[in-house]
């Protein structure tokens, strides 16, 4: 018997609490009465970071994992067939839910607590239990490799490499314009769209918020860059990123779309585990996507100057964590203890389209 639609809708709603790049929520749901077709909406994330839709595929993976946990909790077993029409087709997964004994997952209560926290963390240590629980996640999933860097020098190198992204954000117009397109400047605007990034979630102090708004028009950014703006911005993020208990990276053994979706599932379990341990979490992964843009797309969309910076960041990352073009960098992130975030991002209402079986 197919899953009742109200139950399915509730499970999908848990799914959509997943993270996505700039809160794009690149998913479309089609229900054929028996199976759910999860489709990537390529129009939602057109950013240079979304190399071959890989950032969106990670978000789809996180969504599937949330649905998997919520389904088990509700007495359903989730099966997801990935890319049944091939890697080039936007159909990411065909999902079936069949009745099964209730299987509580200790991560379920954290699905709606997980969030991105961009505030300053304390530099307390991660601790043995937290490290062990996080490292267990890919081991239990049977795929993915997690690196956790906790020593001062390693964190400093990674933080500096990751912070170069902030320079590129203000030197590459396409990156800049996409970010500002996704900012929601008031609560009202965030509620109207249900997507994008509410300015309060960026972790800026009030004077920084005012200054940030003046950087929306590109001519202003170009002018400020002549005064050294783009070189100053990474200093702030470097300071924030290195003040973390750990900087981590999840990698997958290949770079196919399936690797990114499966990596997204594992990532979501890592993020939920961090939440369950009281740890704040922020992806700091812009730079890894730009490195993958060099590797997979020959750096299309990047100027020669941008490329040099990205190559430099790749060499720095590689001093601490081994990276290579044959393996997917799913996410670079920082972890630590901190107060709550200044705001929470919203979601669009779930729309379930009907389709033929």
Q: Is 116 in the site for ligand FMN (CB under 6 A)?
A: yes
SS3 319: helix
What residue spans of 75-146 are helical by DSSP H? 128-141
Which of 3, 11, 21, 170 binds ligand FMN (CB under 6 A)? It is 21
Under a CB-based contact definition with an 8 Å cutoff, are residues 296 and 125 in contact?
no
284 in contact with ligand FMN (CB under 6 A): yes
Tell me the site size for ligand FMN, rule CB under 6 A.
18
The answer to whether 15 contacts ligand FMN (rule: CB under 6 A) is: no
Does residue 345 touch ligand FMN according to CB under 6 A? yes
Q: Is 250 helix (H, G, I), strand (E, B) or coil?
A: strand
* φ, ψ at 303 (rounded to 5°): -75, 170
In a 3-state reduction of DSSP, which class is residue 97?
A: strand
3-state SS class at 68:
helix
Of 35 and 114, nearer to ligand FMN (C-beta) is 114
Question: Is 262 near ligand FMN (CB under 6 A)?
Answer: no
Q: Does 23 bind ligand FMN (CB under 6 A)?
A: yes
Site string for ligand FMN, 193-212 (x = CB under 6 A): ----x---------------
Figure out which of the listed residues 26, 138, 248, 286 binds ligand FMN, where binding follows CB under 6 A: 286
11/108 Cα distance (integer angstroms): 11
Q: Where are the alpha helices (DSSP H) in 243-353?
A: 257-276, 286-297, 304-320
Q: Binding segment for ligand FMN among 13-21, 142-150, 183-191, 227-235 (CB under 6 A)?
A: 13-21
Binders of ligand FMN among residues 292 to 331 (CB under 6 A) are none
- Which of positions 27-66 make contact with ligand FMN (CB under 6 A)? 55, 58-59
Q: Three-state DSSP class for 83?
A: coil
- The Cβ of residue 257 has, within 10 Å, a number of other Cβ atoms equal to 23
Give the three-class secondary structure for 107.
Answer: coil
Residue nearest to ligand FMN (CB): 19
Q: Which of residues 120-159 bind ligand FMN (CB under 6 A)?
A: none
**What is the rounded (10 degree) CA torsion for 5, 9, 10, 14?**
150
Among 258, 250, 323, 321, residue whose Cα is nearest residue 291: 323
- Given the complex with ligand FMN, which of 110 and 222 has the nearer CB atom? 110
* Distance (Å, whole) CA 63 – CA 68: 9
Contacting residue, 8, 11, 22, 68, with ligand FMN by CB under 6 A: 22
Interface with ligand FMN by CB under 6 A: which range of 70-78, 115-123, 245-253, 301-309? 115-123
Q: Does 172 bind ligand FMN (CB under 6 A)?
A: no
Binding site for ligand FMN (CB under 6 A): 19-23, 55, 58-59, 115-116, 118, 197, 282-286, 345
């Amino acid at each position: 018997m197919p899953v009742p639609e109200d139950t399915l809708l509730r499970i999908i709603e848990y799914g959509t609490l997943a993270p996505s790049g700039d809160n794009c929520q690149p998913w479309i749901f089609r229900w054929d009465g028996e199976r759910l077709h999860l489709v990537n909406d390529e129009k939602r994330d057109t950013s240079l970071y979304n190399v071959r839709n890989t950032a969106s595929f990670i978000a789809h993976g996180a969504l599937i994992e949330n649905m998997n946990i919520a389904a088990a909790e509700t007495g359903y077993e989730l099966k997801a067939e990935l890319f049944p029409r091939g890697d080039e087709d936007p159909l990411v997964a065909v999902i079936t839910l069949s009745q099964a004994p209730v299987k509580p997952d200790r991560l379920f209560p954290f699905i709606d607590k997980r969030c991105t926290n961009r505030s300053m963390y304390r530099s307390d240590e991660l601790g043995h239990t937290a490290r062990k629980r996080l490292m267990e996640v890919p081991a239990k999933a049977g795929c993915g490799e997690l690196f956790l860097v906790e020593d001062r020098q390693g964190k400093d190198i990674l933080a500096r490499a990751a912070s170069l992204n902030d320079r590129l954000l203000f030197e590459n117009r396409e990156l800049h314009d996409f970010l500002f397109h996704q900012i929601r400047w008031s609560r009202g605007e965030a509620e109207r769209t249900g997507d994008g990034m509410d300015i309060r979630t960026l972790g800026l102090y009030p004077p920084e918020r005012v200054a940030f708004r003046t950087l929306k028009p590109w001519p202003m950014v170009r002018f400020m860059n002549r005064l050294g703006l783009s070189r100053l911005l990474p200093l702030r993020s470097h300071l924030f990123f290195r003040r973390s208990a750990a900087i981590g990276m999840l990698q997958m053994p290949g770079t196919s779309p399936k690797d990114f979706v499966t990596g997204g599932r594992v990532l979501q379990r890592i993020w939920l585990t961090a939440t369950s341990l009281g740890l704040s979490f922020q992806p700091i992964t812009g730079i890894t996507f730009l490195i993958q843009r060099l590797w997979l797309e020959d750096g299309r969309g990047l100027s020669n100057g941008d490329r040099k910076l990205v190559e430099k960041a790749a060499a720095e990352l590689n001093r601490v964590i081994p990276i290579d073009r044959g393996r997917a960098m799913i996410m670079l992130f920082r972890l630590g203890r901190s107060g709550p975030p200044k705001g929470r991002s919203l979601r669009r209402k779930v729309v379930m389209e009907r389709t033929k079986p």
